[in-house]
Amino acid sequence: VALSDQGLICCWNEGNSWMQRSGTWPLGSCQEGVPLQREAIGELLADLLFDCDVIGAQIVLCLPLAAARWCVLEGIPPGQIQALTDPRLLLSDSSWSEGLQDCYLAFDSCGGLVVATSVPRTLLQGWLEVVELADLPLRRVDWCLTAAHRALLHLAEDWIGNLAWFILDGTDGRLVLIRDGVADLDFSLPSPTPASTTAWIRERVNAWRQQMQSMEPLGWWLSVTAEEQMDWLALVDSD
């Protein structure tokens, strides 16, 4: 179940095919990843799964885009994380240091480096309450950006080069620049439009490539709706 401020998308395997259904929350139910109208959200989730006849399925919950933060920890071997008594010390010098005690932290290995993800406790507990209100068995909690990143690397495994990944989620956008499979830079883009944002994005991408002095080809991945694809193709250089 992938969650957003606007609604949810449920995906499940049926036979040899993947099925998908979506739903929309009542207006104002979820803001910046926080479930505000938990009973209404839980009821919609339960009704949608009931209508899809997937009663009893275990739920993998993908938190909304605005729900978490992530960063790459360079110089830390993945095997050392488990041995640390308090992994929060690894982020003590970062912009995350304030409020870390009120967050859940997850550490994953990616491209030989460690990726840290931080989720506010109150936000996560809110979504856990939604699942409890829906009376559904929860198997695992994920974040939609890290889940999509894993999927992107799988789908683009034959691509030799770096990736510029543009994401449009409702009225908010994101530009993630990926080097050797690892997210190198992540920019938030409030209310982007092709006219207002294309030049800004291309400047950042060109500066990033110049700094790396990389001769590797650059691939683009656009996570936008089918109706928006043509509008955003101007991001892509002809070469």
pLDDT 10s digits, 106-150: 888 888 888 889 999 999 999 999 999 999 999 999 999 999 999
Q: Is 76 helix (H, G, I), strand (E, B) or coil?
A: coil
pLDDT: which is higher, 29 or 215: 29
pLDDT: which is higher, 19 or 75: 19
Does position 105 have pLDDT exceeding 90, yes or no?
no
| pTM confidence score | 0.88
> What is the mean predicted confidence (pLDDT) over 169-198?
92
Q: CA–CA separation, 222 vs 173, rounded Å? A: 11
Confidence class for position 84, pLDDT limits 50, 70, 90:
low
Torsion of CA 85, 117, 33, 167, to 10 degrees: 180
Does position 14 have pLDDT exceeding 90, yes or no?
no
Does position 15 have pLDDT exceeding 90, yes or no?
no
**Mean pLDDT for the chain overall:** 89
pLDDT score at 130: 95
Q: Is 94 helix (H, G, I), strand (E, B) or coil?
A: coil
Q: CA–CA separation, 223 vs 167, rounded Å? A: 5
